[in-house]
A and B are shown apart, each in its own frame.
Chain A
Amino acid sequence: MAERPHAIEAVPVRHPWRWVFAVLIVLIVANAIWSVATEAQLEWSVIGEYLFSEQIFNGIGLTLVLTVIAMTMGVVLGVVLAVMWLSPNPLASGASWFYIWIFRGTPVLVQLLFWGFLGAVYPHVSIGVPFGGPELLGGSSNELITPFMAAIFGLGFNEAAYMAEIVRAGITSVDEGQEEAAAALGMSRMKTMRRIVLPQAMRVIIPPTGNETISMLKTSSLVSVIAVSDLLYQARLIYSRNYNTIELLIVASLWYLFFTSILTIIQYYLERYYNRGSRREPPPSRIEHFVKNFLPRHDRSATEPLPPRSGDSK
């Protein structure tokens, strides 16, 4: 065998424009920070005082609980609706179509108000024999549908309509050969869906679901219209007393930003998990990507010897 050739030592491609833009961006950001710090009439102490206050924490707790429950409801119901939509049963797909038509076609704010004021139309709700038969379970709407329940219903049922569309797109993205292979092995439609199709659809479903969750975290602030004391509601309560409006909005925003950042990180790892098997190597993380494409490569690979070529199988 011939001697191993030297590793290639090429001068990497330079990207001068990246540096120009970088300098520009640093200047703009620095100026913004400087102006906020020196000119804006903000009472920084108020932000510090309320950022970790109990009242704000209560609001955060409620916002998170609302987001988690509404998203869970949205995902579960969304999967059911998507499977119904794609089912050969025309009644099921029709019902799914109708649901999505209603809940996606009206503003979520209207839906929240509707659930919030349901008591005005239906003072009494019950489960029992239909068409006025004996009732098994029932009570006054205002007791059963508390503002919290109304918020869950409003956000969750609305989210399900959007999730159904996302899940449907995911399911249809999976190669038909997969269903066929599972069917040929004797797997039922339901097992095929659960074990073969949905896990593959996840790759398409996860990124927009991450967006939906982030969006839900913020959309949940609408529930203050039906007097549910979420993060924004608490912030508004406080500034209605002390008039530090902007400061408290900043407090709320900082927390929204904090949680959306966490969600973004979770989303990244979920995507990577559901991408397994579809690529030969996991994608680089955001930071790796940045380092690779921005900083000039004093290439490690140029100084280190080439790794041995991975032999073909066996």
Chain B
Amino acid sequence: MSAAAVTPMVDADRVHKRFGRNEVLRGITLSVAPGEVMCLLGPSGSGKSTFLRCINHLERVDAGELRVDGELVGYREASGKIYEQKESEVARDRSHIGMVFQRFNLFPHKTALGNVIEAPMMVLNLSRTEATDRGRALLDRVGLLDRCDAYPAQLSGGQQQRVAIARALAMEPKLMLFDEPTSALDPELVGDVLAVMRQLVDDGMTMVVVTHEIGFAREAGDQLVFMDEGVVVEQGDPREVIASPQHERTKAFLSKVL
């Protein structure tokens, strides 16, 4: 299968983003094929989260082209013109993209199961029974079926993050975004979350993962992108980049996290 024949799941072409006078993304070009796992690495402040948030339009791209599954993010093309999307169109596009946050962002007033079934009921209009069946299956998949009635405050960080993954999966997304999913966790809890993510990789999910877990990037990633100061410094096969980084900045960064 030639690379040009399939529509990339994520296709960024010279993407720029600025906050005020601070240009955070300065021409990001990369592409993620369906089923591929891309790991994003880079020092703090390099724009990793910002780029991830552009993919589901939590941030608006200023210049360049960003496409998900062939469609422009945040805009609609018709007869050679580009229109800004309506709120409902943005929401519909987001519902196909799962996102997992560093700080979990579970809904604290809902149980684990309540968190998972909320969007299927509210966005996909599933009945409560349908959503509950789906939610219990997903909580089982992340190993938390016995905790489905617990509130987030009663769960450990690792358990919360696994519920958050189940919540995102409940929308049956075609793409999953992870923003440092294990950085807020105690070391002994990281493994459980990574195991769930590895399982997703095996199931063929397309994923963009911002992470400092070099082991995960090496074993589960198809591509590794190293970003610094809003540009892609180096990218390629994770094993190669990690074993023999070409760029000085990559070398310096890897020597610190390895």
Residues on A facing B (Cβ under 8 Å): 175, 177-178, 180-189, 191, 195-196, 199-200, 274, 276-280, 312-314
State the Cβ distance, B40 to closest chain A Cβ, in Å.
Answer: 17
Give Cα A277 to B56, complex, Å: 29
State the Cβ distance, B173 to closest chain A Cβ, in Å.
Answer: 9
Interchain CB contact under 8 A, A199 and B109: yes
Chain A residues lying within 8 Å of B122, measured Cβ to Cβ, are: 187, 191, 195
Fill in one digit per residue for B134-177: 1 if any A CB lies within 8 Å of its CB, else 0.
Answer: 00000000000011000111111001000000011001000000
A186-B95, A279-B153 known; A181+B101 contact, CB < 8 A:
yes
Chain A residues lying within 8 Å of B153, measured Cβ to Cβ, are: 277-280
Interchain CB contact under 8 A, A189 and B87: yes
Fill in one digit per residue for B77-90: 1 if any A CB lies within 8 Å of its CB, else 0.
Answer: 00000000001100
Interchain CB contact under 8 A, A184 and B107: no
Chain A residues lying within 8 Å of B151, measured Cβ to Cβ, are: 276-277
> In the complex, which range does the number of interface residues on chain B fall in?
35 or more
Chain A residues lying within 8 Å of B155, measured Cβ to Cβ, are: 313
Interchain CB contact under 8 A, A185 and B167: yes
Interchain CB contact under 8 A, A183 and B94: yes
Extra contacts, 14 of them, besides A178-B105, A184-B97, A200-B109 (Cβ < 8 A), are A177-B103, A181-B105, A182-B107, A183-B94, A184-B56, A186-B94, A186-B171, A188-B91, A276-B109, A277-B152, A277-B153, A313-B146, A313-B159, A314-B146
- Which B residues between 59 and 108 are near A, CB-CB below 8 angstroms? 87-88, 91-99, 101, 103, 105-108
- Residue of B with least CB distance to A179: B105
Give which listed residue, B91, B156, B168, contacts A187 with CB less than 8 A. B91
Residues on B facing A (Cβ under 8 Å): 56, 58, 87-88, 91-99, 101, 103, 105-111, 118-119, 122-123, 146-147, 151-156, 159, 167-168, 171
Give Cα A178 to B105, complex, Å: 6
State the Cβ distance, A231 to closest chain B Cβ, in Å.
Answer: 37
Give Cα A196 to B171, complex, Å: 17
Interchain CB contact under 8 A, B101 and A177: yes
User: A185, A199, A279 — which one has the most chain B CB atoms within 10 A of its CB?
Assistant: A185
Interchain CB contact under 8 A, A186 and B159: no
Give Cα A185 to B111, complex, Å: 17
Interchain CB contact under 8 A, A185 and B123: yes
Give which listed residue, A182, A278, A312, contacts B108 with CB less than 8 A. A278
Interchain CB contact under 8 A, A313 and B118: no
State the Cβ distance, A174 to closest chain B Cβ, in Å.
Answer: 10
Query: Could you give 22 example pairs across A and B, Cβ below 8 Å?
Result: A175-B105, A177-B105, A180-B101, A181-B101, A181-B105, A184-B98, A185-B95, A185-B123, A185-B167, A186-B123, A187-B123, A191-B122, A191-B123, A195-B118, A195-B122, A196-B107, A199-B109, A200-B107, A276-B151, A277-B151, A313-B159, A314-B146
Give Cα A180 to B87, complex, Å: 14
State the Cβ distance, A271 to closest chain B Cβ, in Å.
Answer: 14
